[in-house]
Amino acid sequence: MRVKSGVFLPFLAVVSLAVVLAEVPSATWASTGTLSLASGVTALVFMAMAALLGSRWTWLEDVFGGLDRVYEVHKWLGVWALVLASVHLVFKAGAPEWEVASILALPPYWTRLVRQLSYVALVVIVLLALNRKIPYGQWRWWHKLSGPLFVVVVLHWLSFKSPIALGSPAGLWLATCATFGLAGAAWKLLLYPFLAPHAEYRLTHVEPGVASVRLELEPVGKPVPFEAGQFAFLRFLHAGLREPHPFTIASGTGAGKPVQFVIRALGDYTDRLVAEAKPGMRAEVYAPFGRFKRPAGGGHEVWIGGGVGLSPFIAWLHDGSRQDLAKVTLFNFQTPGRGFPGVEELAADARMRGADWVEVSDGPDSPVFADRFGWLVGQVGADRVSVCFCGPRGLLTKVRAEMARLGVPASKLRYEQFEFR
């Protein structure tokens, strides 16, 4: 069972509030001063956890159920940290009854400057994370500042006069969270490029399509291990293509097999990659990430891929460890004229292996999908169907609605977050 943002964030907030209330007189609990202090403490904790989650450590995937879920929680931590920091800034965190002192004494000028900079730092971090109009190359380099900016926020806590002593429950809570956050930020900024699992690959085959491309890469040395359905951060060692981007691995597992990616031109980086990819180019593959796995056990599997969301299912079709495809129906939602390279051969190969391939070219409201899905549920039973989905949010909403209409339990759905940034 994975930890969700709807549980994780309230847990952090409740603990932060509890330790703050333990530090101030009960007569001031209902004051704006206590509200400001609790908001500031919680904002710092949220920022620390966001920095920790940005490290991409493997054990975090185990806790939250995959890197896509980790980044979803990471996003909401940043949003709510900004909201709470705003409350902290508006109201004065203090009361005449409080006994206050700073943990790290700084000159008054620097104390005020760090206080203002800490709020500006948080605003910059969140706006950069949420602004999709910034080109990825610029966004990535600006976002690298989130670690150093978090150091400014920690300095504000240490230099600000408050009733929280370092050895108190609230002080220990903040110190623990800040330590985790600083460790995650330091790892991601300084050590990740060198110590994270990765390997060098050579591009051996390029199959172009309409605004898309299929890439096949072979390891130069020892390959990175992965499971079908996982994704990797791909970084080409060539000018203009050095930014690491996440792409689902579209090939099955097996010793000595090349790794494949199917990439569609959807932005400045992918436009350039689709246009310039040539055999012989070298790349670094950071992997594996993701916990999108096929269901185990009996029942009929419904795979639904939308656009580039077809990629994990391509890997599942060619996964040498499992060949039980007779109980699989794959719905491929693709815009006419924008299908993946070799999709016709892929469909024929899937049918030859026993899977039922259903092409859907008229959008989420397609009667082809509704009729075929409804017929399938009627044949095998709502409790005997498992649904695996990877695609845009709008299509996911439609799939959930169809499942509810047909009585398929929501627990039967597993999906990969499609919008990663």
Q: Which regions of the chain carry the CATH code 2.40.30.10?
A: 198-289
pLDDT tens, residue by residue, 311-346: 899 999 988 777 789 999 999 998 876 666 777 888
pLDDT in tens, 406-419: 999 999 999 987 66
pLDDT digits (tens, 9 = 90+) for 289-314: 998 988 887 789 999 999 888 989 99
| CB-based contacts of 375-382 (< 8 A; 24+ apart in sequence) | 376/300, 376/302, 376/329, 377/406, 377/407, 377/408, 380/299, 380/300, 382/406, 382/407, 382/408, 382/409
**Superfamily of segment(s) 198-289:** Translation factors (2.40.30.10)
CA gap 309, 390 in Å, rounded? 5
- And the tokens for 347? 């469909």
Neighbours of 62 (CB within 10 A): 11
CATH fold of the domain at 5-195: Four Helix Bundle (Hemerythrin (Met), subunit A) (1.20.120)
Report the percentage of the chain scoring pLDDT > 70.
94
pLDDT at residue number 419: 62
pLDDT in tens, 350-407: 899 999 999 998 888 889 999 999 999 999 999 999 999 999 889 999 999 999 999 9
Q: Is residue 22 very low, low, confident or very high in pLDDT (cuts 50, 70, 90)?
A: very high
Report the pLDDT averaged over residues 8-19. 98
Q: Where in the chain is the domain with CATH 3.40.50.80?
A: 300-416
Fold type of domain 300-416: Rossmann fold (3.40.50)
Q: What's the pLDDT band for 190 if we cut at 50, 70, 90?
A: very high
Return the pLDDT at 405.
Answer: 96
What are 89-140's pLDDT values in tens digits?
A: 889 899 999 999 999 888 888 878 887 888 787 777 767 666 666 666 666 7
Residue 254's pLDDT band (cuts 50, 70, 90): low
Q: How confident is the model at residue 33 (pLDDT cuts 50, 70, 90)?
A: very high
- Residue 356 CA to residue 347 CA, distance in Å, equals 9
Residue found by looking up tokens 């700084």 in the block: 106
* Average pLDDT of the segment spanning 53-64: 93
Residues 6 or more apart from 179 whose CB is under 8 A from it?
A: none
Q: Where are the CATH 1.20.120 domain residues in the chain?
A: 5-195
Distance of CA 357 to the CA centre of its chain: 29
- Residue 295: strand, helix, or coil: coil
Q: Name the 3-class secondary structure at 121.
A: helix
